[in-house]
Each structure stands twice: as structure tokens, then as C-alpha cells.
Copies of this chain bind each other. A is one copy, B any other.
Amino acid sequence: VSGSASIVGAGPGDPALMTLRAQQLLSNADVVLYDRLVSPLILDMARKEAVLISVGKEGGGPSVPQEVITDWLLQHVRDGKRVCRLKGGDPFVFGRGGEEAAALAAADLPFEIVPGVSAALGCAAYSGIPLTLRGVSASVTFATASLQTDDDPDWAVLARPGQTLALYMSLQRLQHCSAALLRHGLPASTPAALVAEGTTPRQRIVRGTVATIAALATGVPSPAILFVGEAVALADKLSWFGENG
């Protein structure tokens, strides 16, 4: 038996938001290399005989260095295993799936990439935030406020009106994000919402404006996504999923 790898998006949190293909690959894998944000309820879908290895990435805590993760991935495939590399959300949106796929391709090992419901899509649907909306928001941008390089994102672009902005991993830098958006000309009245632990039973939505959201969201747990834009105001009416807090 020759090994193979699948780089799989596990979706935003709710196990029911996994894709059929993700479930199939997970339930057939010999080895599962999973990120910290993947729910235990999802890992339960693996075979009893499967080897589950946490690589602890995402969200700040201690983690296995990327080159070690990639090394393990390649090694298990070379050992003839069916390896499922399971990531939160979508592997190609802040998931570093591109780097891991490039390593597999360079080593001439077979792989498959399975897209997932990215966290912004899941949090938006479960909190009633249309990402595009006729006459209000013509585009949506997924960005992050904690770039590895310590470079800031292109705030001038993110502050333009007529779009919706989804800022991943922004919880520790809310005040910084708000200030940067305001400084680049986004009106202070622009609606903003922070969705924490989105799509899970612990989902919490904090609503405000780009000027007030940082103060309102004090103490909210990670992971969280910050949404900014006029369409975000609809969350007041369209929220349908139970929320705490």
C-alpha cells in the first residue's frame, strides 16, 4: 500500500459544517495531524485505530514548528500511511496549506486538498452577517491583524467603504485594528461585530461600531473574528443561532 496525504479543512467549528469529503477522508485515515482549533467532536470521526497527533498550531499557544509538521507529514506518507492533515476552516485561508502542499509536491508524493467552510463564512452565516449585500457591500476581504512578519495589513485598502471586512485572529489587537481603520478614513459609525467561538454552542456576538467594538468586547474568548462594514448591521435582525452573553 502506498501512502497519500489529504490537506483537509475541518470547517469553522460545528462538526455538521464539515464537508462530506472531509468526513470520508478523516474516517479512513491511518494518521491524523490536527491543529489545536479542531474540535474533539470532529476528531471523534476518526477510526479507533488511527494515530492522532496534535500539532497545536493557530491562536498563539505553544506549537510544533512548521518545518517539523511538514516533516512528519512527509514521513508518514512515505511510510505508506493515509495521512489526513486536518486544519480549522479552509486550508488555503490563513491555514498554511499552501506551504504543506508545496512540500508534498516537491517530494513527489500524492496529495489532495479539500476546501472547508472558512471561519469567516461560518461565523457570518451563524450570526446573520451577509458578507456581500446588493447596494451595500460589493465585496468581502479576509485579512488578519496578526501577521507573522509584524507588518501591518494594508489598512488603506481595508478601510475603503462599500465592502465587508473579516479580520481573523484579531482579538488581541482590536484596539489597534479599530484605530488603524479610523485613521485611514473609515467612518466611526461603521457597524462592527466580534463573533467569538462562532458556530459552536458557546458562540457569542458582540455588536457595536468600529469605534466602540474594542471596549465592548473586553474579556471575549478566542477564537474570534471581527467583521466591519455596513452589511454587519443586519446581524441585529438576522441572528438566528442561539447566543450566550
Contacts and interface: CB of A to CB of B under 8 A. Distances in A.
B144 A154 contact: no
A47 B138 CA distance: 36
Contact of A101 (B118, B132, B163, B238): B238
Interface of A: 9, 11-12, 14-21, 23-24, 90-94, 96-99, 101-102, 105-106, 110-118, 121-122, 124-126, 128-135, 138-144, 147-149, 151, 153-154, 157-158, 160, 162-163, 231, 234, 237-238, 240-241
Contacts of A106: 237
Contacts of A21: 14, 16-17
A16 B106 CA distance: 27
A138 B143 contact: yes
A68 B11 CA distance: 33
Q: Which DSSP category, helix, strand, loop or mixed, fits chain A's interface?
A: mixed
Quick one: copies of this chain in the complex? Answer: 2
Contact of A102 (B126, B163, B238): B238
Contacts of A9: 121, 125
B130 A97 contact: yes
B124 A92 contact: yes
A9 B90 CA distance: 15
Contacts of A118: 118, 121
Nearest to A198: B115
Given A101-B234, A132-B142, 11 more contacts: A18-B20, A19-B19, A92-B121, A92-B132, A96-B134, A99-B130, A111-B240, A112-B240, A114-B125, A115-B125, A116-B121
Contacts of A124: 92, 115
Nearest to A93: B131
Contact of A157 (B122, B153, B160, B231): B160
A19 B24 contact: no
A11 B115 CA distance: 10
Contact of A93 (B97, B132, B153): B132
22 contacts: A15-B20, A17-B21, A17-B114, A17-B115, A18-B19, A19-B20, A91-B125, A92-B132, A94-B132, A98-B234, A99-B133, A105-B238, A106-B237, A111-B240, A115-B117, A115-B124, A118-B118, A132-B144, A138-B154, A139-B158, A140-B141, A140-B142
